[in-house]
Every structure is written in structure tokens, then in C-alpha cells.
Structure 1
């Protein structure tokens, strides 16, 4: 009888540990699904992002984040020029999760672009780490005026409906 009680106690302990582990895993998964806001006040991240931007983004989006001329007018090939990432563009209208996805995967028709959309935006998922992408976005956001930052933070922190 004493052996059966010990085995039952061990089983209860093992099951409790498994339940606790599963609960912690679910909690972390829920916490990781919270909208992430990339903070442009992190000067170290911005400095890293500035260098990465210069090496990977500047040729299309401009030295001053100004984008290409006539960025709203389709070219002969049907594609749009690279948009500005300063406050005159629409980058600040998107949540950080979308900006990260576009940078990692390019503009994907039906996901981050309208169906059938063709873009010159490359996917950087094999070239840049997640930290690099966050750094570039911190650098871009560091140029925005306060009202654009506040609006973009609110957009980022909204939960999907």
C-alpha cells in the first residue's frame, strides 16, 4: 500500500510539473503575440539601423528617407517607385508587425499588398536578422515628427479585430 501511495504521489508531481510547463509555454506564447512597438528613442538601436539602412535601403528609399521621385505614379512596367519613409510617406500608417513582415518577406500579393501587386521591394529575410530589421525601422522612425510617432504607436498597439 505504501508503494502505491508513493507512485501516486510521484505521478501527481510529474503531472503537476507538466501542467505548469504547459501553462508557462502558453503564457509565453500569448505574451509573444502582443503587438511589438519598436522604440526609436533607443539611440544604440537607431545607430545600428542607420548603418544597415545605408547599406541596404538607401539606394531605393533615399539618403534622407525621401523615396524615389513620383513614388505614387506607376512606371512603364506597372510598378510603383520606392516610397519615402519620412513623414511624407505612408510608412507611419502601418503597425510595426506589418513593417517587419514587408522588410523580411517583401510585398506579398494578398498578404501585405493587393492581389496581383508586383513590387521591386526585395525580401531581406536571408540577409538581415530580426534585430537588424528592428534597428532599421527604429532608424526610420527616429526621423518622424512626434504626431506621426504617436499615431503609429497607437496603430501598432491595436489588437487585430
Structure 2
């Protein structure tokens, strides 16, 4: 009799343990995956925030650069460095290239600081443009401030790529 009761209880325990249907198990796994995905997403968000791109310039330089840019560059490159022509790659009637946007949507980010300073100093004629030289118009700090201003419009991705290409040289 004891054996019969023990056997019956054992069978009932096994049945109860195995009573979870496959769809219940799938749902449980899905819930675990969703919870894990939510944790992973929030961790990635925190990681992105903690990996914010550190830039070479200060807010003070950007502020000065905004003034310098407005007085010396905006007429040709647009007030927010976004250009003033529809297609900066299309030559003008005189055969020169129009001023490109400097906000990260054209090619300025392909050039290191030294090259950007060279173009500011010597003008754009050597590159097929009409930009005048600013070597005697702006001092070194104003030139860097103008660069800081237009780089402040660059996305972190563009800025990081510029740095990887040796941009701060």
C-alpha cells in the first residue's frame, strides 16, 4: 500500500512538473529575451552618453568664432556654415567653385586643422575657388575660433572620423 501511494505521488509530481506547455515555455523565453534586450539597450544608451565626443575647442572659442564667422565668412558660407548655393560641386559661370558648406555636409572635415588654416590664410584660389586670403585680416586665435564655430555644427560621427584621419594635426 505504501508503495502504491508513493508511486502515485511520484507520477503526480512528474505530471505537474511537466505540465508546462511548449507555448508557455516559449512565452517565458520571449519575456526573458525582451527583458535582456531592454537592459542591453539602456546599457548601450548609457555607454553612448559616457563616450560623448570630446572636442578640441571650448564654448568660449565657439562664441568668439560665431562673431568672427558672422563678420568674415557667413556671406559666402552661410550664417550657420551650411552654404548658400544648392550644389557647391557645380562650377560657377566663371569656372570657379562656389564656397562649400563647412557644417560637415561637404568636404571640410576631410582636412586637418593645418590645411583649414592654410586655406583661411591663403584663400581658395589654389583650389579653384574665389575665397580671399585672411592672413592679415584675422589673428591666429580668431582663425581657430572660426574653425571651432563651424566644427560645432559637425555631428559626433563626422568629428570622430575627422580626428581618426588626423584632423587635429
TM-score, with structure 2 as normaliser: 0.63
Name the CA distance, whole Å, in 1 between partners of 2:116 and 2:80: 19
Alignment partner of 1:48 is 2:58: no
- On the 8 A contact 1:67/1:84 being kept in 2, the answer is yes
- On the 8 A contact 1:97/1:156 being kept in 2, the answer is no
- The higher-RCO structure (CA 8 Å, 6+ apart) is 1
50, 59, 68: which one aligns with 2:84: 68
1:13 aligns with none
- Extract unaligned runs of 5+ from structure 1: 1-37
1:139 aligns with 149
Distance 1:158 1:126, change over 3 A: closer
2:136 aligns with 126
Q: How does 1:2-151 map to 2 (within 5 A)?
A: 39-40=56-57, 42-69=58-85, 70-107=87-124, 109=126, 113=127, 117=128, 119-151=129-161
Cα RMSD after superposing both structures: 1.8
- Extract unaligned runs of 5+ from structure 2: 1-54
- On the 8 A contact 2:113/2:168 being kept in 1, the answer is no
Q: Please give the secondary structure, in 2, of the residue aligned with 1:156.
A: coil
Alpha-carbon deviation of 1:68? Answer: 2.5
Larger Rg: 2
List per-residue Cα deviations over 1:74-113 (Å, max 9, x = no partner). 111101111001121111111111001100111253xxx3
